[in-house]
Structure 1
Amino acid sequence: MRLKAIGLTLLLSACYQTNDAPQFTAEAPPVPPIGAKPVPDTRPEPTSEPTPDPKPAPQPAPAKPSEKQAPTKDEASRFLVQASFGPVPDEVADVQSLGYARWIEAQMKLPIVTRMSRVEARAAARDEVNNLIVYDLFWNDAVEGDDQLRHRVAYSLSKMIPICADEPAYREIRLRAYAAYMDILQRGAFGNYTDVIREVALSPAMGLYLSHLKNRKMDPETGIQPDENFAREIMQLFTIGLVELNPDGTPKEAETYTIDDIKGLASVFTGFSWNDKSFSSPGFTAASQSVSMEGYAQYHEEKPKTFLGTTIDFGANPEASVDAALDHILAHPNLAPFVSKRLIQDLVSSNPSPAYVTRVGHAFETGTFEDDGVRFGTGRRGDMAATIAAILLDPEARDLELAMQPEHGKVREPVLRFAQFARAFRDGQGAPETGDPLPTGRLRYSERLDTLGQKPYAAPSVFGWFRPGYVAPGGWTASAEMVAPEMQIVTASRVSNYIGFMAMAIKGDLWGTEFFKPDFSEEMALVDDPAALVDHLDDLLTYGQLTDSTRERIIRALNEIDITGAKKDLRQHDRINTAVLMMMTAPEYAVQR
């Protein structure tokens, strides 16, 4: 009980010394005359087909080492806290050897193994096929996956463009629709944000979630009105936000859209259903789950549709209407600062400076970024490879002195805290070649709200787990006019539950024999020396940022645990478990700098 109280004090102290920043916003788009037809999109058509697994694909050529000064171990670990689900010794060594830019380059060259392919493998093996597989795949990739940067960015995108796998509609065969949605985000992590939006807009998983699947045109006789759900959220949450933005992400006074814009755009997203030859009564075949929705002309609003200062008129052609509408929305100047700031907040810092947002927004707009002789991006607006590289390699991300300023950094959400723990103490057993039977244990059960307190790919609403502009009331960040998004899910009960959850996870007692079992063999070699043990854990978990006061407090607690006598083995494990728990609840761990 005493240890739980210590952990609670430490974590709460972290939670109320965090960061935040103003809500987003940019300049008004050029307004074409009413009735003007948009210029047809000549870019390559994005495909909603899952990327096939590169079975015998050749491995990418080894990256060349950086010409810059090699990062220290602590610097490399800190970088991986931002760019992965947590540093492990081999990955730290790779970053030190290659340098930041070339490590990113090497990660971006790794082939994708699709979620859909693994769902189908389980189905073929007559293994369980239900929505829980979504969580199995996430935890396997987060803990065991080599392509850490892709999975980390895809997870960020899942919070920016969320749907919920806990929805009843995704159970059983419709799970494939969700797997296909996850693959859109995996491809989009280093692809192009505009392509992500185009694919998501016609994803049956998103159509189910935001109710524009089977959305019908207006019918005065029956009173049917087009559903406005997706039309509202694609503007508010996925692309341009509520108010006009400057290129640096600071808000102007003008709103970006009105209720009339929502109504006009809602008519665009009518007439779409499963790609299964029936609008109202599809067969829900396995194939129709994994492809874009199909447009059915008879259910699409054929009248001109006016929104955001333009009018599109393609009659009863749903695909052409959506293409034109997305062309117009994605050309909005808000897109670059809106998306750039959201990604910075999720990966690096809740309160990026306007200059930081401007630099990243420039990479987004130009589709290119260069560092250490490595060029990222295709030159096309919205390039995610260029944008992610710009975020992670920016001076505000890499300058350790700057990172120690009180306005820098972010609270780490529970999923990221636990994922780093699982990576740091994994047993080292990789997934067998067939069957994907969860070498990390059934971590799907870790996310119950009364335990870890957060579930990946299962936000409680379209607003996600927390809002990017959330201001924690009554704290230092609020008085400093900063935002602290992750603080929205920090409550007294969740803090206490997290500590209890971690105490059981560290002992390997969660959910019986199937749950992840941590490997503390390296730590056991240091059990006789509390100071050395804490230094080792500081190196592993907090990249050397543990303060003297926290370090001394943990050492003092460890020294109180007598590891001699008849129960020596048991007491040694108590000392290791206590050390890890106090590290996992320390302010330096709860707050990412």
Structure 2
Amino acid sequence: MDRIIRLGGALLLTTLLAACGGGGGGGSSGGSGAGGSSGGAASSAGAAAASSSSKPGASVPAPAPLAAGEAAPSEADAVRFLTQASFGPTVRDLAVVRGSGFRNWLVAQMMAAGDNYSAYSTAVHTTGLKDFCAEYGAFPSEYYRKNCWQEYYSAEPLSREFYVSALSGADQLRQRVALALGQIFVVSNSEVSGTYGLRDYHQMLLDQSFGNVRELLGAVSRNPAMADYLNLVNNEKAAPNENFARELMQLFSIGLCELTADGRLAGGSCRPTYDNNIVREVAFALTGWTYPAGGVSAWGSSGWKNPTYYRGQLLAVPAQHDTAERSLPGGGKLGGGHTPAQAMDAVLNALFQHPNIAPFIGKQLIQHLVTSNPSPAYVGRVSQAFASGTAFGIGSGQRGDMKAIIAAILLDSEARGDSKSATDYGRLREPAQFIAGLLRAMNTSSDGAGFYYWWGEEFGQAIFNANSVFNFYPPDFPLAGTSLVGPAFAIENPNSTLARYNLSNRMLYWNGLAAGGFPGASGSTADISSWLPLADNASSLVSEIERLLVTGGLPADIRSGIVDAVAAWPVSSTSSSWRTERVRTAFYLILASPEYQVQR
């Protein structure tokens, strides 16, 4: 055991000191009951356990098989692909991808019916009570009365559902893309109080994940939770708040500086895409919107302003809309005499046609799915897919087609390949991806609880509760001592690194997470039983787990140390516990390695 502790500590130190390309910034992860690679003994031993049951509601057709004579993807690249396009490989999914090919898998995922999150109660905004938690008398049970704020106002119930979907949802690609979109188009529980509103916003992102960027901009801009979060709602024509107008341009569409199609600064320096006058012009153009009908306030309505209500889309109030001629981003003009809807469409159309939007949004999606430092050529190819609406035969041919953009990102030569040895390639697994991947790798049965208030806070990423509209971390966070960026490293520190180890330890050695007190709680329990038959041979056990979890394999010295630590548990003829300890050790140390912490 001392050997294992020493090795784990060495890996932790290596992880903390490593840069994005050569190692990660995290610590340990969990053990897997999911099974080993797609071949060998682990495949047959773990295949059944690895087949995580799909969450009800998500329906994905079986992908078409490889064409006759078409080569199957390599095992390493299939693992890399599933790491990018899902919340982590499983034996079953690996076999499906290798039997269908990357493109066919994407097409099937894009045809998925998709997941529908629970329709959380709107009672917080429809009872007419000043203090809902104190006065609302129709709670379904005593639990909900005592935990009113958590269950009706916070993102905690939605976080539970998010992790269940990430763990067992069949629509993995949609879930992964929606997470990325939610970190670009941020709405946060830090300002928006209403579980149903946060749910409806995330559901909108899920529904728009394979749509069109223009439609996405419209859905985001008319969403009442976003309008509340960034002060678009109830803006009077005489004195509009500029917050949404500014962030719509800075964060949601074109960014601060003029860009070339490949994402580089036009002219080699920052030339502003807009000035404060344009912010004012857009703010005036977006006046005259209030909440949808349905909300009730203890103080009644305030003239034209509806009470807070997050279900549906914003309601236009023409009398409160500024109708003057206004300048648009990119140099166009909005003629006078327009309606609120006409003005919003004009603003969004101008942003959608702006040359910056393709590289600005495309590069961030690459960073969330594939690598933190994509080459300009990679960004340029994704921008071309944005403009043409098609990539690799996927897409409608319409500008801004999300299917084409995603295909361009995931099928690009810079994303695919057996080996990625460049030191600037890869991305640190952000906490939400790390947690979900850990659960999938361990074949965990989970109710999704515990990853918001406790573990989410420990990791620095309580999902749906970003600290600001700038997300949990910025896309340009610099890696000290390098010219690289490592976005997720912004929330990685010794404490959050140790949290990765602690969660792994909890799942492997302390029976997971206990069930909480909410109705239907089951906790989170890992199942590593399918790996036990492989424990006789320490080297083979490590190899099978390594194939599934570490694309490109472990360095020889780290792998040798892990094999030695696994073999340190002696074979016993009187007890079977040595098998369990070998599997635990193998998973704990492999998932602790920088090669796992950094997605490559």
TM range (shorter): 0.7 to 0.9
Structure 1: unaligned runs, 5 residues or longer: 21-54, 219-224, 430-438
1:143-199: CA deviations, max 9, x gaps? 0011111111111111111111354x323xxx2222221122112211111111111
Relative to the length of structure 2, the TM-score reads 0.81
Tell me how far apart the structure 1 counterparts of residues 525 and 58 of structure 2 sit (CA, whole Å): 33
Tell me how far apart the structure 2 counterparts of residues 279 and 368 of structure 1 sit (CA, whole Å): 48
**Residue 107 to residue 16, structure 1, CA distance change in 2 (3 Å):** same
**Residue 313 to residue 509, structure 1, CA distance change in 2 (3 Å):** farther
1:360-418: CA deviations, max 9, x gaps? 11111000112xxxx211111000101101111111111234x2211211111122122
Structure 2 counterparts to residues 158-557 of structure 1, below 5 A:
158-167=182-191, 169-171=192-194, 175-218=195-238, 225-252=239-266, 253=269, 254-276=271-293, 282=306, 289-308=310-329, 309-315=331-337, 317-370=339-392, 375-401=393-419, 403-427=420-444, 439-445=446-452, 448-474=455-481, 478=482, 481-513=483-515, 514-543=522-551, 545-557=553-565
Paired residues of 2:292 and 2:311 also in contact (CA < 8 A): no
1:80-138: CA deviations, max 9, x gaps? 00110001111111111111101111111111232255779xx9995865332211221
Tell me how far apart the structure 2 counterparts of residues 473 and 110 of structure 1 sit (CA, whole Å): 42
Point out the more displaced range, 7-16 or 139-148: 7-16
**Residue 116 to residue 328, structure 1, CA distance change in 2 (3 Å):** farther
Paired residues of 1:8 and 1:496 also in contact (CA < 8 A): no
**Residue 510 to residue 228, structure 1, CA distance change in 2 (3 Å):** farther
Point out the more displaced range, 522-531 or 333-342: 522-531
Give the percent of matched residue pairs that are identical in Structure 1 and Structure 2. 33
Paired residues of 2:359 and 2:380 also in contact (CA < 8 A): yes
Shift in Å, 1:464: 0.9
Look up the SS of the partner of 2:425 in the other structure. Answer: coil
Shift in Å, 1:324: 1.0
CA RMSD of aligned residues (A): 2.8
In structure 2, give the amino acid aligned to 1:532.
S
Q: 2:77: which partner in 1?
A: 75
Paired residues of 1:74 and 1:543 also in contact (CA < 8 A): yes
**Residue 508 to residue 111, structure 1, CA distance change in 2 (3 Å):** farther
**Residue 58 to residue 247, structure 1, CA distance change in 2 (3 Å):** closer
Among 168, 182, 187, which residue is 1:144 paired with? 168
Shift in Å, 1:579: 2.2
Shift in Å, 1:509: 4.3
Tell me how far apart the structure 1 counterparts of residues 499 and 82 of structure 2 sit (CA, whole Å): 27
In structure 2, give the amino acid aligned to 1:199.
A
**Residue 160 to residue 320, structure 1, CA distance change in 2 (3 Å):** same
Point out the more displaced range, 304-313 or 92-101: 304-313
Q: 2:133: which partner in 1?
A: none
Relative to the length of structure 1, the TM-score reads 0.82
Look up the SS of the partner of 1:376 in the other structure. Answer: coil
Point out the more displaced range, 263-272 or 382-391: 263-272
Tell me how far apart the structure 2 counterparts of residues 5 and 354 of structure 1 sit (CA, whole Å): 42
Structure 2 counterparts to residues 26-65 of structure 1, below 5 A:
60=61, 63-65=64-66
Look up the SS of the partner of 1:270 in the other structure. Answer: coil
Look up the SS of the partner of 1:216 in the other structure. Answer: coil
Structure 2 counterparts to residues 123-142 of structure 1, below 5 A:
126=140, 129-130=151-152, 131-142=155-166
1:223-280: CA deviations, max 9, x gaps? xx32111111111111101100001111123111111111111222222121118666
Tell me how far apart the structure 1 counterparts of residues 594 and 57 of structure 2 sit (CA, whole Å): 46
Paired residues of 1:297 and 1:316 also in contact (CA < 8 A): no
Paired residues of 2:237 and 2:322 also in contact (CA < 8 A): yes
Tell me how far apart the structure 2 counterparts of residues 500 and 61 of structure 1 sit (CA, whole Å): 37
Paired residues of 1:425 and 1:518 also in contact (CA < 8 A): yes
Paired residues of 1:204 and 1:289 also in contact (CA < 8 A): yes
Q: 1:24: which partner in 2?
A: none
Higher relative CO (Cα under 8 Å, sequence separation at least 6) belongs to 2
Shift in Å, 1:499: 1.3
Point out the more displaced range, 228-237 or 575-584: 575-584
Tell me how far apart the structure 1 counterparts of residues 595 and 58 of structure 2 sit (CA, whole Å): 41
Paired residues of 1:244 and 1:255 also in contact (CA < 8 A): yes
In structure 1, give the amino acid aligned to 2:472.
W
Shift in Å, 1:12: 4.5
Paired residues of 1:226 and 1:267 also in contact (CA < 8 A): yes
In structure 2, give the amino acid aligned to 1:186.
L
Paired residues of 1:216 and 1:226 also in contact (CA < 8 A): yes
Shift in Å, 1:441: 4.5
In structure 1, give the amino acid aligned to 2:428.
V
Q: 2:11: which partner in 1?
A: 10
Task: Count the aligned residue pairs.
Answer: 523
Q: 1:577: which partner in 2?
A: 584
Shift in Å, 1:303: 3.0
